[in-house]
Structure 1
Amino acid sequence: MKINDFEEKIIDNSFQTINEWWIESTADIHTQDQLIYCVEINGQSFYAGYEQLIVDNYQRIDFIRIVTKTKGESIEETFVTVKDYLDKFIPASSSIADSFYGELTDKEWSKFSQLIEGIEWILKAMDFLETLTINEKQKRATINMKIEIERIVSEMDNNLQRQDYVMVGDLIQYELVTALQNYMLEIQG
């Protein structure tokens, strides 16, 4: 059992022993103001759901390594990831918006579903940033952007129900894309 590349500890793989090690290790991580980035179990990395995986498979686990990052590293990495994602998401959103000005095919509806999944990912990343960010300007920009995205999505839903597809295209093109471009400028500044 390891935390990052330190504190290698050999323990038996009883549930109680692994659980005690886990509680002690995560408490140490918390007191050091660190976050769990991922957990490697038998050489495979898990970014979520690792606790349940350990509980369900503790008898077959030979090795656990907890990889941590500081809050600052996590924030910076998330901002970089969001920026990289938005660099691709914004042009794709414009393309999807264009499809709402004509006849929508199954392929275009599929792309729209992907757009909605992308928005959900962006909102989750913003939740993470809002929780950790101490820079007030970036935190305020993130909170305001979440509110704006949620408003736009609600309006898109209302217009989809009315089958006003031109308005959906306008919301994507002129509100969502513009808001995300402005957010990128705010968090970079």
Structure 2
Amino acid sequence: MNDVQVLVRETKESLADYLPNLIAACDQVAEKFQTGQEDWVELFQAVLEGINWVTGAVQGIRNVESTTLLGLELERVIELLQEVQAAMTNRDYVLFCDLLQYELKTLLQAYSDQVQQEL
């Protein structure tokens, strides 16, 4: 394997290790929010930063291997984050939690599954 292939493989391995934690954090944010724990904000910020890292890693991999991780819908992540923002703006906290626990978590699980398949 050349250096680029090694880097791609290592990045995929990092994604495979990280995505389950990010998925769990989606539930944790919703649970903390629903139970009034103030530290949900910090955890939500960490989730957003994690999503940013994941999407950046996927884009980076695709830039060097255009035929890999094609099933990962980066546009859908952006749409979901816009829906999350709208839910918070509209103070629709049930929708906010549902988007985290069901929509975003499901999408990230699909990412995790595909990354595992390609390893």
Query: TM above 0.5, one fold?
Result: yes
Equivalent position amino acid for 1:147 in 2: E
2:49 is the alignment partner of 1:117: yes
Higher share in helix: 2
Residue matched to 1:84:
17
Q: CA deviation at 1:104?
A: 5.1
- Secondary structure of the structure 2 residue equivalent to 1:77: helix
Moved over 6 A (4+): none
Give aligned pairs, total.
Answer: 116
Residue in 1 that maps onto 2:88 = 160
Shift in Å at residue 112 of structure 1? 1.2
Letter in 2 for 1:81: S
Give the root-mean-square deviation of aligned CA atoms.
1.7
Does residue 169 in structure 1 map to residue 63 in structure 2?
no
Q: Answer with 1 or 2: which has the greater Rg.
A: 1
**For residues 167 and 111 of structure 1, what CA distance do their matches in structure 2 show?**
18
Partner AA of 1:90 in structure 2: I
Q: 1:139 aligns with which of 66, 69, 73?
A: 69
Percent identity over paired residues: 26
Q: Which has the higher strand share?
A: 1
Do the aligned residues in 2 keep the contact of 1:100 with 1:166 (CA within 8 Å)? no
